[in-house]
Amino acid sequence: MVRRTRGAKRNKSVDSSDNDDSLSDASDEEIVTSNTPASNLDNDQKTHYFVTINSKNRNGNSSSMLGSFFETLNPFKKRKTAPAEDSIPKTPFLQLFNGQEPPEAVAKRYQLFVDTWKPQLEQIESELNQANNALFSNLLKFIDERGAKSRLPTAYVQLTTNSANNLRIMQDFNNYLKQQPKFNNTTVINLMSKNCYNIKSTFREIIKQFLEANNEEFNIQGRVNYDFDIVRDYCISNIKDLKSFHILIIIQDTNSMSNHVLNQLIRILHSYCTELPIHLVLGLSSENVGKWISGNLSNESRIIVDGNKFSSNDNIDFGFELLDKLFLNPHGMSLILHPQLTTIILNRFKYSNNSIDALIAEIKLVYMIHFYQQPLSLLLSVAPSEISSLGPVHLQRLRKLPSFKKHIELNLASKSFNYSFFKSLLTDDVVLVQEFEKASVNFGEYQKTVLNAIDIVSYLQKFGHNQSLTKHKFDLYNMIANNKFVHSVYLNELLKSISKSSELQTKVTNKFLLPISSQYQGQYETKLLLDLSAQKAPEDIIAAFRNYFKNPLLQKPIEEMLFNEVFTMNGGTITQVPEPLFEENYENLMINLIRPNLRSTLEHGLENSNPYLSNPLIVDSESSQKGTLNPTLTYLFKVYKEAPVNISIYDFYIAFKSSLDRNKIKELLEKEDEVDIDVDEVWEKLTYSWFTQNCFELMMMGLLKEKPKGDHLEKAIWKGV
């Protein structure tokens, strides 16, 4: 791309005498322009030219020294491309099975994702809309109340510790307020700390939003644009009934606002509250509102405000409610979470920033990755009789699943191995489909048994005497899915706790029968109900529960179930060969997209650039025959890793120059090129320019730091290696 600046004089500054650099030389270069009306304008109006080097330049006349040099280092050729309308896929999903998946199956798989995610998204939006309705209704009552005119009505809204959640709650309140007809005459002004760096900018923003909200260009009559008298005069002259009018000022991130500016704002607003119906709402990210008021508001501010405290819902409780309704719903689709994915989601939500928005993004990625990476997910929406119609490629993939191979190996080692059956399972598609149908039924039973067990434990928690034993349903699912529930300390302590309850006979046994009998009843649930109805002694009742929790379905790992890859969502895989699993190092595609490991990504890219540069979009087969030079930054990074903590710039440069293959670079250059690297001075200039540019890039990435003395650099990472 050749950049041109505006103006005819600059346009004439191109050296037309140099045929190698001239844009008008059609024999060497082509000017590619679009057919848009803008391309038909006079050249003086253009700011850019897009230039494509003609292919005959490679074998014929050489172009400019700089163009030829970079052309040889990054060779390319003009390629025929398909029309845009043909190259754009109809769905965002790709054909799997190495491109052998039928397009109809890809479209069905994408539609299945849309149909599956749509009700989940509706459930999420419904929960979000109702999450803080109680808080919003209380705030409306606060706005509607006039109170004492001598003090400024102020609401301290205790929000969560996550700023993204707080901004969403404040935005939801704005939308909720617009839906209330009673408050149509309310002017809402939203302030952010970034716009309130001093008191003048704060009132300038207030007046601006006030006038925009009322669609007025009020005549300020020569006054400064931060004079609040502008708002007062507008209200007096234009608002007929001030009793039904409200000015609501919301500071969304009060914790980030300067205390000095906040106290000034409160004092000035207080001076107008006797004339104007002003209400101030402070959004706080503080666990102790009283402590925040004592530490941030001056004594005068505390006296002149009429404070009211409000609290939003706890983020953790709301997040668990969301997870329970999405993944532990017996009426949902037959997809369950993989144990490892459950641990990742749970740990990130509990011990990270408790962000609801991040949690929703994770959930959507989980569904998207499953249907995007797993071609067999299509089997969930196909009747068993229609599986064979999908084609042999899907059935062959079923036989290649790790769970299927493990199933065959386990049966080979058993004494009751049926040779003819397993031979037909490997060769007969009808037998394979029947086995898949049985696996689907087994997974349905497993899912319902797990949900029943979770409901039973949640019911028993109500009668324990230890509040520390209360767990969320998703916590319980994580323990059961990871096979850590039956023999856990938690279950033993819970059963000991309820054995001391005086309500064990009346509520735990009699009233317990109704909710269980109304749900799914398998053979283990039926046996539990019979045992509870027959037993009277507390120890026998506890034994009945313990026997139920020891049923084989609750103790069988999901990985050992046949075709579990189709019915479970694991968050996607990054590497073909999985690494050893440690709970603190759990990794999958979903968490890598949400929280990418920037350092390892940079290091892998600097060590080996082929995954990023050697792909069909950049390098074609013909250019690879000529050979290319790896980015010089990769050579400097290899020297950087082996260097000491304090690096001499001169030694660093000499080592970098020695790592370059001078002969290979010489072969890549055109014979006619004027860059003759056989000349030591030219070679020194070329390598030193690369060296300085690469050092600057390493500094920008945070890998290198400048020392006070200009002749040394310091490593920021890879110390002592």
Model confidence over 93-120: pLDDT tens digits? Answer: 988 998 889 899 999 999 999 999 999 9
Instruction: Name the more confident of 230 and 329.
Output: 230
549 in the same domain as 482: yes
Q: Does 111 fall in a domain?
A: no
Cross-strand bridge partners of residue 280: 154, 249
308 in the same domain as 324: no
User: Would you say how long the chain is, in residues?
Assistant: 721
E strand or H helix that includes residue 569: strand 568-569
The CATH number covering residue 688 comes to 1.10.10
User: For 160-164, 274-278, 687-691, which range has the lowest pLDDT when averaged over its residues?
Assistant: 160-164
305 in the same domain as 337: no
Domain count, the chain: 4
- Percent pLDDT > 70 in the chain is 77
Q: Provide the mean pLDDT of the chain.
A: 80
Closest CA to 67 of 39, 25, 34: 25
pLDDT at 625 over 70: no
447 in the same domain as 363: yes
Question: What integer pLDDT is reported at residue 338 of this predicted model?
Answer: 92
Of the pLDDT bands very low, low, confident and very high (cuts 50, 70, 90), residue 568 is: very high
394 in the same domain as 262: no
pLDDT in tens, 243-261: 889 999 999 999 999 999 9
Question: What integer pLDDT is reported at residue 511 of this predicted model?
Answer: 57
Q: Does 126 fall in a domain?
A: no
Of the pLDDT bands very low, low, confident and very high (cuts 50, 70, 90), residue 360 is: very high
CA distances from residue 435 to 401, 402, 425 in whole angstroms, order as listed = 14, 15, 8
Of the pLDDT bands very low, low, confident and very high (cuts 50, 70, 90), residue 333 is: low
Query: Which structure tokens are listed for 427?
Result: 């060769």
404 in the same domain as 437: yes
300 in the same domain as 195: yes
pLDDT at 299 over 70: yes
274 in the same domain as 229: yes
Question: What integer pLDDT is reported at residue 549 of this predicted model?
Answer: 92
Q: Does 215 fall in a domain?
A: yes
Question: What integer pLDDT is reported at residue 512 of this predicted model?
Answer: 60
pLDDT at 149 over 80: no
Cross-strand bridge partners of residue 247: 187, 278
Estimate the crossing angle of helix 103-131 against helix 315-327, to 10 degrees. 140
CA–CA distance, 434 with 430 (Å, rounded to integer): 6
481 in the same domain as 453: yes
DSSP letter at 281 equals E
Closest CA to 197 of 295, 267, 264, 249: 264
Of the pLDDT bands very low, low, confident and very high (cuts 50, 70, 90), residue 55 is: very low
Q: Does 128 fall in a domain?
A: no
pLDDT at 342 over 90: yes
pLDDT at 53 over 70: no
335 in the same domain as 260: no
Question: What integer pLDDT is reported at residue 30 of this predicted model?
Answer: 39
Question: What integer pLDDT is reported at residue 580 of this predicted model?
Answer: 55
Q: Which of 541, 560, 579 is the last residue of a domain?
A: 560
CB of 242 closer than 8 Å to CB of 278: no
Q: Which domain holds residue 7?
A: 2-73
Q: Which of 73, 99, 123 is the last residue of a domain?
A: 73
């001076």: which residue's tokens? 271
Number of H helices, E strands in the chain: 34, 14
Which residues, 6+ apart, have CB-to-CB distance to 139 below 8 Å? 155, 157, 173, 281, 310
Q: How large is the average pLDDT for residues 123-133? A: 89
368 in the same domain as 266: no
CA–CA distance, 523 with 548 (Å, rounded to integer): 10
CA–CA distance, 23 with 28 (Å, rounded to integer): 9
CB of 371 closer than 8 Å to CB of 110: yes
Q: Does 512 fall in a domain?
A: yes
Q: Which of 312, 347, 375 is the last residue of a domain?
A: 312
Closest CA to 629 of 645, 609, 612, 611: 609
pLDDT at 332 over 70: no
What is the Rg, in whole angstroms, of the alpha carbon atoms belonging to the chain?
Answer: 35
pLDDT at 626 over 80: no
Question: What integer pLDDT is reported at residue 465 of this predicted model?
Answer: 67
306 in the same domain as 163: yes
First to last CA, the chain: 42
Cross-strand bridge partners of residue 51: 31
Question: What integer pLDDT is reported at residue 422 of this predicted model?
Answer: 87
Q: Does 596 fall in a domain?
A: no
Question: What integer pLDDT is reported at residue 644 of this predicted model?
Answer: 86
pLDDT at 491 over 90: yes
The CATH number covering residue 142 comes to 3.40.50.300
Q: Does 90 fall in a domain?
A: no
Q: How large is the average pLDDT for residues 421-446? A: 91
CA–CA distance, 377 with 396 (Å, rounded to integer): 14
Instruction: Name the more confident of 479 and 506.
Output: 479
Question: What integer pLDDT is reported at residue 16 of this predicted model?
Answer: 41
Q: How large is the average pLDDT for residues 277-288? A: 91
pLDDT in tens, 515-564: 554 456 678 888 888 887 776 788 888 888 899 999 998 998 998 899 99
E strand or H helix that includes residue 647: strand 646-648
Closest CA to 520 of 455, 594, 584, 425: 455
Question: What integer pLDDT is reported at residue 138 of this predicted model?
Answer: 93
Q: Does 288 fall in a domain?
A: yes
CA angle 295, 301, 303 (to 5 degrees): 110
